Structure 1
Amino acid sequence: MLIGAVDVGSARARAGLFTLDGRLVARASRGFATIPGPDQQAMYHFAEIWQAVADALTEARHQAGVPPAQIGALAFDATCSLVVDAPGFSPDVIAWHDHRAVAEAAELSRIPHEVVVRAGGSVSPEMQTPKLMWLKRNRPGIWATLNGVRDLCDHLTFRATGIEARSLCAAVAKWAWLPDRGGWQQDLLERAGVADFPRPGPVLSPGSRIGPLSPQGAAELRLKQETLVATGLIDAFAGALGAAPGMPALIAGTSNCVIAAGIGPRTSLWGPYPGAILPDESVTEGGQSATGALLERLRALYHEPTDHDVILARIASAPEPAADLHVLPDIKGNRTPFADPLLRAVIQGLTLERSPEALDALYWRAAVGIALGTRQVIAHMGLIPQALAMAGGQARSPLLRQLYADAIGAEIHWQPEDAVLRGTAILAAAPLSGGVLAARDCFARPIEVTKPDPAACIRRERDWRIFLRMQEQRAEIAAM
């Protein structure tokens, strides 16, 4: 029997198959389109996401050479995008990074409530309650015909099983739901004017048994109905579960998230969230929006099509470029430490040069700015880590792992066999293995350690001082 895991990120669905003792057997991915809109809107078609999921699972199964009956359990992780299940609403998924609800988020932030406290005192437009407020105010006809409105990871399990259930992870991190305060915060929802949205079904801890695939889900995923589906996670939290335990985790993908346990409420941090990953543990998240997305934007500037691995290989093979080029990477606002969705990036030292070497230099210095932003997030969280687990797309690059080690001054611990998919596979295996903790122990794998380089740390300290000064200058200009 094999365990299936599906990770739905910002642009791709990835599927992995694992043995019950945690060995990765096969992995495949399929892309899907982002539909941009006005006012910082971004959306997806769920049907396209679901097709990508089905195709990735089928390809992984073909790679492994196993029939559908061999997939005994399945779980999903996904970005915290919002699926609006209502006639006539298309595209029907509001992307996690959609910022249409900036005004609603600011309004919500002015309400004295524990949900706002655990949003760091400033609710992000990336959370679900402000998006619900926007939807009701701007699309009242859609609101009146809602069949459901779900986090993407929950809608994936609903489509697979036909059973209504929400992940505690998504509910506590992105919705007005507090497990230690009675669940749904009806008073806040009423003040926000959205208390009437449909929310049937229980809120389940990650790795809980939901049920088997429905006949429709089995047919669409090309699996057997007997496949058991377990409650999933938001993608960053899945990465934290699958990375090295016992230390803070950096999930560096389209955005960067630092997740750590044992941190109390603090401005510009999200949490603490009881039970969001493991029972009897509260985690807090600090983050940066659109970090990997910035590198992707810069990749698109090259005259000839190229991929990130080629760019990074060129940078690694030459002397470090452009010490006089500096980047504040906030292309879509700042989560931590400023909690300001309207902040924007700054580039100091840009020229008109468009050669591959010049673009490599800009790419590298943007990566340096991103790593320094992660250092700032960690400092704001009050952490002084000796080691940091790393997961996500950026973690696959040895050069970027070394950059983070040098910028943060901590060892980077990396689990090479895809920590995000591994975390989701742990959830799928949990009902069969005695729970999430037991499954995590079974799935543990050796890690690779990247230590800070003393000479590079000196260069990053200079960059750090400039980074902070540029933030001061940006604030001074904004005040003018």
Structure 2
Amino acid sequence: MNYYMGVDVGTGSARVCIIDAAGVILAVESRQIRTWNDRPDFYEQSTEDIWSAICHCSRSVLKTAAIEPELVKGIGFDATCSLAVLDEKTDEPISVAGPDFREKTRNVILWMDHRPKAETMQINATNHNLLKYVGGQMSIEMEVPKVLWLKNNMPSNLFERCKFYDLADALTHIATGKETRSFCSTVCKQGYVPVGVDGSVKGWQEDFLSAIGLQDLVKDNFRKMGGVNGENGLWASAGEVIGDLCEQSARELGLKPGVKIGSGVIDAYAGWIGSVGAKVDLGGQSLDLDCSNNDVEQAFHRLAVVAGTSTCHLVMSKDPVFAKGIWGPYRDVLLQGRWLAEGGQSTTGALLHNVLTTHPSYAAALDQSKTLSTNIFDFLNKHLEDMCAQRGASSIGYLARHIFFYGDKHGNRSPIADPNMRGAIVGLSLDSSVDDLALQYYVAMEFIAQQTRHIIDTLNDAGHKITSIFMSGGQCKNGLLMNLIANATGLPVSIPRYIQDAVVLGAAILGAKAASVDDRGETEGLWTIMDRMSQTGRVVYPTKDENEKKLLRAKFDVFLWMAKAQQDYRRHIDDVLLSAVCR
């Protein structure tokens, strides 16, 4: 029996699993990783800390699964789309912690770091053609603005030593000891257009990098960013073999050298791999094929929603589809010759945590949930049901009908694509009881569901044909939230068998693909492996209650009004201040 290892690095933890040839998870282990947040909008991590967590988890899952190390034939990595910086000569970490850059181990700028505000505006002011591949403008979460910030703030001699990686690429670099890059990690967030697309010759766009002040990255055929595929760089689609596990990394992971390493992906993309291939009865959706014939064409109608600290929305298409405020379309990142679009919510899990922990009654609610031996979310869901019964309300939504919540507390990723968006609530009273906490928690979930609809509407209006949602991540455990998403969007929501582990399962599938390499260097198709290894879960269907649907449609109108009103308010204030300065 052969086994495969998946490594997933999320925002707050590293997770490792072992799967068998059928895709059954035999063991999984996670460990927290450290984030430094010394200043607002600055979030930093360490590749050394992350690698240490991965090694601990690897040794642990091997022991738990009672698997001999030599039976592990392939490894796949995924990670958040964060910027990692190494010394290009020594591979040692280079500090990203300004202003003095002395904290050497802090060499990762986390995706949610919003320090490069001016740099992002400068980049988008170029209106360069490649920006159409990131929804019309580059996001502050992406890596090129962060690199530009480093150039503007680092001592020039230190910047000259830097080599820049997406975090998943940095980890596979450590694992193999070789210089390789993933199309998934780079095409998506770093201003790379695949060769042959829109006149692209080398992938990297020299005129773009020069226009934004990053001429340093053009030198030596874009060496600092990974080079040019086939010339001074090696690039691969998801799961293609990029090398073997080197001796040092094998010792640290508790494995044997020579294990095949698959080209890594962004963590959300691993969620797509670990969820959308499942054979699921979606209730006769007209555009979804018979679930007994799990054809790759089904992927074009299935939206993967990968929910964690933030949430990503991924949909595949045969041809490129451009949508304002939606990242992509990206070619070859998962399935060769196919295009992927990505929407997203900057905070979902983080939003719910913020709403709960900042409320005056959070401690009381937490104590009550512990008394009942349940988690805070299940406690609040039951509390809302009890409130309905006590007040004779037809639904929880009816209880909250006059509370209007807008939750972009950390900016909007899609489709408004405005990092300056913030949260707002209308309908507050003097009540600070657990009842009020429960209602605010509910309308925060209602916001998440309505924004999911906003993203889906934007995708479908642009030409996609989404007919179902495939969720993954810990939020899938929240039945009330899953019902809200199904009801707000009007689409069935598939919940995977491995609710919290679909992402790390996707990483392990990359390892299985790498291990399938034959004598000609070719590997088995990714969708074929997904079809074989994906595990069936359950489906949440949208409500048939017409009153519930009408209420959610009405509140969606308010959701859109609140978004526009906030932008209008800011514009009005800025116009007044500008006119005052001019006088």
TM range (shorter): over 0.9
Match of 2:18 in 1: 17
CA gap of 1:248–1:54, structure 2 versus 1, over 3 A, is same
1:237 and 2:237 correspond: no
Q: Secondary structure at the match of 1:111?
A: coil
Match of 1:259 among 289, 314, 337: 314
* Amino acid in structure 2 at the alignment position of 1:21: A
CA deviation after TM superposition for structure 1 residue 253, in Å: 1.6
Amino acid at match of 2:225: R
Paired position in structure 2 for 1:303: 363
Q: Secondary structure at the match of 2:164?
A: strand
Within 1, Cα distance between the matches of 2:40 and 2:379?
37
Distance 1:299 1:14 in 2: 26
- Secondary structure of the 2:363 match is coil
Task: Give the superposition deviation at 1:242.
Answer: 1.8
Distance in 1, matches of 2:427 and 2:34, equals: 34
SS in 2 for 1:72: strand
Q: How does 1:236-385 map to 2 (within 5 A)?
A: 236-245=268-277, 246=298, 247-262=302-317, 264-301=321-358, 302-303=362-363, 310-317=375-382, 318=385, 319=388, 320=396, 322-382=400-460, 383=464, 385=466
Q: Cα deviations across residues 3-28 of structure 1 (Å, max 9, x unaligned)?
A: 10011111011111110221111111
Q: Alignment partner for residue 400 of structure 1, among 464, 481, 497?
A: 481
Q: Which amino acid aligns with 1:92?
A: N
Match in the other structure for 1:470:
562
How far did 1:284 drift?
0.8
Q: Distance in 2 between matches of 1:145 and 1:70?
A: 42
Contact kept? 1:135, 1:143, Cα under 8 Å? no
- The residue aligned with 2:540 is 450
What is the Cα deviation at residue 226 of structure 1? 2.7
Helix, strand or coil: the match of 1:84? strand
Q: Identify the residue that residue 8 of structure 2 maps to in structure 1.
A: 7
Q: Which runs of 5+ in 1 are unaligned?
A: none
Letter in 1 for 2:313: V
Q: In structure 1, what residue type is equivalent to 2:492?
A: E
How far the C-alpha of 1:145 sits from its partner, in A, is 4.3
Structure 1-normalised TM-score? 0.94
Matched position secondary structure for 2:482: helix
Size of the aligned set, in residue pairs, is 480
Identity of aligned residues (%): 33
Q: Deviations over 1:179-230 (max 9, x none)?
A: 1323111221122222434134312111111222112211221221132211
Moved more, 141-150 or 173-182: 141-150
Corresponding residue for residue 113 of structure 1: 128
What are the within-5 Å matches in structure 2 for residues 118-197 of structure 1? Answer: 118-141=133-156, 143-179=158-194, 180=197, 181-182=200-201, 183-197=203-217
Alpha-carbon deviation of 1:395?
2.1
Selected match of 1:215 from 247, 251, 254: 247
Corresponding residue number in structure 2 for 1:227: 259
Q: Give, in angstroms, the shift of residue 66 of structure 1.
A: 1.8
Contact 2:150–2:159, Cα closer than 8 Å, also in 1: no
Q: What letter is aligned with 1:426?
A: I
Runs of 4+ in structure 1 deviating by more than 6 angstroms, as ranges, are 306-309
Alpha-carbon shift at residue 353 of structure 1 (Å): 4.2
Gaps of 5+ in 2: 88-92, 96-102, 218-223, 227-232, 278-297, 389-395, 517-523, 573-583
1:88–1:142 CA contact under 8 A, matched in 2: no
Q: Which amino acid aligns with 1:374?
A: T
Deviates more, 1:337-346 or 1:435-444: 435-444
Amino acid in structure 2 at the alignment position of 1:100: R
Contact 1:136-1:143 at 8 Å conserved across structures: no
> 410-419 vs 305-314, which deviates more?
305-314
Partner residue in 2 for 1:42: 43
Report the 3-state secondary structure (helix = DSSP H, G, I; strand = E; otherwise coil) of the residue aligned with 2:428.
coil
Contact 1:35 1:43 in 2 (8 A): yes
Per the TM alignment, residue 361 of structure 1 is displaced from its structure 2 partner at its CA by: 2.3
Inter-partner Cα distance in structure 2 for 1:143 and 1:459: 57
Offset of residue 356 of structure 1: 3.5
Letter of the structure 1 residue corresponding to residue 338 of structure 2: E
1:300-327: CA deviation from partner (whole Å, max 9, x where unpaired): 3322658997222123322325333221
Give yes or no for contact 2:126–2:212 (8 Å, CA) kept in 1.
no
Deviation larger for 110-119 or 18-27: 110-119
CA distance in structure 2 between the aligned counterparts of 1:22 and 1:39, rounded to whole angstroms? 41
**Normalised by the size of structure 2, how large is the TM-score?**
0.78
- Structure 1 residues 53 and 299: alpha-carbon distance in aligned structure 2, compared to 1, 3 A threshold: farther
Letter in 1 for 2:239: G
